[in-house]
Structure formats: structure tokens, C-alpha cells
Amino acid sequence: MSSGPGEPAAPAIVVLLDRLAEWQAHEGEPIEAALGAIEDEERSARRRLEDAQRQAAALASLRREQEELRHQLEMESLRRRRDGVRDALAVDRSLLEARAGELLELLAARDRELGLLLAAPALAPAVSGYLDATDRLAGARGTGAPAPEDLLPPEDRALLEPYLRAAIAPPPSLGAPPAGVGVVISTDPPQGRPEALLVVLPVPWSVYAGATSRPEDLCTLLAYRLVAAVHALLGEVGAAEAVVRFADLHGSLALQVWLGDTQVVPDLRDRLLEGVAGSVEGAPELNAAGIEVYAVWLTPDILMESGA
Amino acid sequence: MSIDVSVLRPWSIVGVAGALELHPFEVVRLLAKDGSLPRDLRLRPQDVVRIVELGGLEVWWSPQSVATLTSPSLVRALARELLVREVVEPIWTRADNLFRGLDAGSEGVVRRAVNVWIRSGAMGSRMSARGLELSVRAAAVADLRALAEAGSGAYTGLLEETDE
């Protein structure tokens, strides 16, 4: 602060303070301006942040909706696959049962013809001898008894030989169009060393549950071959002592094997797929019925309801 | 006149299973175990011998041996068979060996005695690939011997109950 004309000069301290105040105001001006600009930017940034947060919240909500839809789609897909597998198993069972019935009729007709041929008087002594031998051997199963034909005189045996061969000849062809049925295989967990194995056969549960009261037909013979394949494989992989349980899965016969107590190789699935194919290869009754067996691997969730 | 052609064929699996009092799938399991299941699924005498060997099948009873036994006598005979055959831990036997050859009534008597012994701890049971297996506990041998030889001991109640 300077003095005007006639005015007394201001004290030095006042002048100094005035000058310092002017200097500070001059130096502080750009700083204040900068701070003001920063505050403006901060406010702007906060607004943008709030907008972004609102947008993120909206997106999160949208994400949850879409994830729920995706989950519903997956559940629906699983449900449809389960239903599809159940339906497919039923279709395969029906096909096999139908052809099993036809094949039984064909075999019965062939047996009737053969039975009439065997009733010829010229064969009577040989047939009578054979039936006597059969009676004598009744109840001797398990004791290493010979087959009845082994007890016949050579001439009677020679006479009966063509009929014995005819009786065990492969079944005649149904002439039905080739059709495939599926054997469903599943391991749990699906990858790595399996702890459980499930094999669903395309045959009705009654093949096991009513084994002694139903005919030993195409379904039964297929089950024998597949059950044998499973046991053979369990033996090969060091799990011969694993307990195999038979269960009714949607009306089909299923084999459940707990492998957790064994050291089973991780490639069990591939070996079983191969084993199934090998077990039915060239099976005369399947050839006669025009049935081809395919092994299909599915994840366990498709076969079993959660907690089932 | 016609001849039943089925007698001309080797035995069916279900037929052999019936004769051996096994489930047909057990017959399949036993023969599949060593790769001897015939491709034509028909069984010859040698297959049956193999099944008996592989399965450890035993016939403890015959219609003649059981015909004259009362229920208490059958229970004592069962205890005797278990001891004579040394089915004492650690030796186990298939549960169906105890029943093979029995008629339904006698099987019920044996089944009841086995259940009592299992519940009382005199007999152990376990599941295996062969199905249910049984073994007498070492601590129960004296009781079973007393039952078999003198009809006395801890399980005389079983004789009274089965006598009803």
C-alpha cells in the first residue's frame, strides 16, 4: 500500500504486509483456479462414477436374469435329455421284446418240425435210449456227469447226430430289417478314475427279477452276454471282487458297480465300450433277429435324478 | 406223436441255475470270470463242474437227509454242519450253501436260525461279489458246539421256538 500526496508514509511493516498479501494473491490465483477446475472435474467424475455404478447395477441385474435363463435352459435341456433317454430305452426294450417273441415262435415251429421227424419209427430205439439216458442223468448236474448222447451206443448216436446238430443250429432269420439298440454306459465321475459304473441294458427289468419265470429269450441272451462282458472287464481291471447290483432303471435292467474300493484304470469307459461290442459280435440270436447293439456313453446326470 | 426237442440241446443257463439253486446271472458271472462262458450260451457238463468249483458251491442237504429231521433237529444239524465244515472266521461261505437242497419249509427254519445268530453276533455276514457270505464268530463256537452236540447252551431257546 503506497501513500498519497500529503499523506504520511505508511509504516514499513504495513507496506511489507501489503506487498506480501499482493504477492500471495498473485501466486495463489492460478492455484485457486486449478483447484476450482479439479473440483469441477471431481464432481463430473463422481457423476460419471455414479452413472457407471447405476449402469453396472443394471447390468448385474440383467446378467442375473440371463444366467437364470441359461440355468433354466440347461435344466430344461437336461430334463429333455433324461426324458429322451427314458423314451429311447423304452423304444429299444419294445423292439427287442417284439423280436424276441417272433424269434421264440419261429424256434418253436422249428422244434415242432424236428420233433415230428424224431418221432419216426426208425429212430424210436435211439430216441428212447437218449431219453432214458436223460432221465438217468437228471439231478446229476454239477457232478461232472456226461451228456446224454455220450451214453448212447455208437450206432444210435450216429443216427441221432443230425438231429442233435439241428437242435442246436443257429436260429433262423426273422427277415426283419436291421435295427439298432443302445447299451448306455456311464461312469461317475465322468472323467478320471471312476468310482461308480452304471450300465443300462436295453432289456426289461423282468429279465433279472423274473429270470426263472420267463422264457430264456432274445432279451435274456443279450443280457447274459452284456453281464458277462461287464464281469469279464471287472476281472481284467482288478475289480473282480466289486459287488454288482442289479436295478430297475425306468423299466430297464441296469448294473450298478461301486468301484471306490478298487484301483480301477481311468480308461474303463473305453474298455467297456469295446467289451460290449466284442460280447455281441457274431451272436447268432442277434443276427437272426436283425439286432445291432451299440454302446453309448452318457454323463451320469442324464441317467440319474439328483439324489436318486 | 412229437418229441420234445429241448432235451437234445446242451443245458440252458436258466436250467443249470435252477438245478444249482443260483440266479442265472450268477452262473454267467462265474463263467465270465475266467472267460469260459460258451459263445452259444449253452452249458455242457464240464461247464457245470467249473461253475461249482469257481463258485465254491456246496450241497449240505439232500431231501433224504432232511426228511427225517424235525425243526430243532435241523437247527442242531445246521450248527453241526457249520462246525464240521469249519465255517468259522476267517473262513466264510456263501449264504446259499446253507440252504441248497432244502425245501421251502426247512429253508425257513434255517433262515430263522441264521438270522438269530447274526442278530446275536454269533455269526458275521458280509456282501461280496458272490453275494451274501456268512461265518461263525470264534467266540460263538462253544455255544454252537453245545447246541449241535447236546442241544444245550445259549441257543436252546432257538430249539424251543422252532419246535412250535
Closest residue of B to A116, CA-based? Answer: B2
DSSP assignment letter at B11: E
Segment among A24-33, A36-45, B63-72, B93-102 with least mean pLDDT: B63-72
Q: Which of A49 and B161 is assigned the larger pLDDT?
A: A49
The beta-carbon neighbor of B41 closest among A144, A146, A221 is A221
Compute the average pLDDT of residues B7-34: 92
Please tell me if residue B21 touches chain A, with a CB cutoff of 8 Å. Answer: no
Structural Rg of chain B based on CA atoms: 18
**pLDDT score, position B1:** 65
Query: Which of residues 92 through 121 in chain B touch A, CB cutoff 8 A?
Result: none
Instruction: Inspect the interface and report whether the beta carbons of A115 and B41 lie closer than 8 Å.
Output: no
Q: CB–CB of A229/A175 below 8 Å?
A: no
Please tell me if residue B8 touches chain A, with a CB cutoff of 8 Å. Answer: yes
Confidence band (pLDDT; 50, 70, 90) for A307?
very low
Please tell me if residue B7 touches chain A, with a CB cutoff of 8 Å. Answer: yes
In B107-150 the beta strands, taken as DSSP E runs, fall at 123-128, 131-136
Å from B66 to nearest chain A CA? 17
Q: What is the pLDDT of residues A151-205, one digit of tens each?
A: 778 888 888 889 888 988 999 999 999 999 999 999 988 888 889 999 999 999 9
Maximum CA pair distance of chain A?
169
Say how far apart CA B82 and CA B86 lie, in whole Å.
6
Q: Is the per-residue pLDDT at A1 higher than 60?
A: no
Instruction: Inspect the interface and report whether the beta carbons of B48 and A141 lie closer than 8 Å.
Output: yes
Instruction: Inspect the interface and report whether the beta carbons of B35 and A232 lie closer than 8 Å.
Output: yes
Q: CB–CB of A303/A184 below 8 Å?
A: yes
Q: What is the pLDDT of residues B130-148, one digit of tens each?
A: 899 999 999 999 999 999 9
Å from A284 to nearest chain B CA? 8
The beta-carbon neighbor of A141 closest among B20, B35, B37 is B20
Q: What is the percent of chain B with per-residue pLDDT over 70, rounded to a whole number?
A: 97
Q: What is the pLDDT of residues B100-134, one digit of tens each?
A: 989 888 999 999 999 999 999 999 999 998 899 99
Compute the average pLDDT of residues A281-306: 90
Å from B155 to nearest chain A CA? 33
- CATH architecture for segment(s) B63-162: Orthogonal Bundle (1.10)
Q: What is the pLDDT of residues B31-47, one digit of tens each?
A: 998 899 999 999 988 89
Å from B49 to nearest chain A CA? 5
Contacting residues of B for A145, CB less than 8 Å apart: 45
Please tell me if residue B19 touches chain A, with a CB cutoff of 8 Å. Answer: yes
**pLDDT score, position A308:** 42
Instruction: Inspect the interface and report whether the beta carbons of B24 and A224 lie closer than 8 Å.
Output: yes
Say how far apart CA A202 and CA A294 lie, in whole Å.
10
Say how far apart CA A294 and CA A226 lie, in whole Å.
12
Compute the average pLDDT of residues A75-98: 95
Q: Which of A150 and B94 is assigned the larger pLDDT?
A: B94
Q: CB–CB of A280/A226 below 8 Å?
A: yes
Contacting residues of A for B3, CB less than 8 Å apart: 115, 118-119, 127
Q: CB–CB of A220/A214 below 8 Å?
A: yes
Average pLDDT, whole number, for chain A? 90
**pLDDT score, position B134:** 97
Confidence band (pLDDT; 50, 70, 90) for A124?
confident
Domain spans, chain B: 5-55, 63-162
Q: Is the per-residue pLDDT at A143 higher than 60?
A: no
Instruction: Inspect the interface and report whether the beta carbons of B5 and A139 lie closer than 8 Å.
Output: no
Give the residues across from A7 on adjacent strands.
none
Residues with Cβ < 8 Å from B43, sequence gap 6 or more? Answer: B10, B11, B12, B13, B16, B27, B51
